[in-house]
Amino acid sequence: MSRAKARVNMLIDKGTTLTELLRERKVDSSSVVYVGNDVNDLPCFDKVGWAVAVADAYPQVQRVADYLLAGRGGEEALRELCDLILVRSQTD
């Protein structure tokens, strides 16, 4: 899938775009961490191994996430997630 097509598809349906990208790149969806904050991210949450929401996500996104970060999107959330992944990978 071209980048331009992926961008257009994401505007339409992020879930379908994610499914296509995972299939094309032969990535096991259970190994994917997806971070979302808005209702248009919800279709992706049930397609991945770990669905994560940022602190300022919409309430319905927070409710269905596997994990809720303390950090807000665009601020410290990504750093927090990376630290969590690194700590978990060292204990496995």
The whole-model pTM stands at: 0.83
In this predicted model, what pLDDT tens digit does every residue of 13-39 receive, in sequence order? 899 989 999 999 999 999 999 999 999
Nearest to 86 by CA among 35, 33, 49: 33
Domain 29-91: what homologous superfamily? HAD superfamily/HAD-like (3.40.50.1000)
Q: Which of 17, 49, 18, 52 is nearest to 31 (CA)?
A: 49
Calculate the average pLDDT of the chain. Answer: 90
Cα separation, 39 vs 92, in Å, equals 32
Nearest-angstrom CA–CA distance, 69 and 54: 5
For residue 36, which of 15, 57, 19 has the smallest C-alpha distance?
A: 57
Ordered by start, the domain boundaries in the chain are 29-91
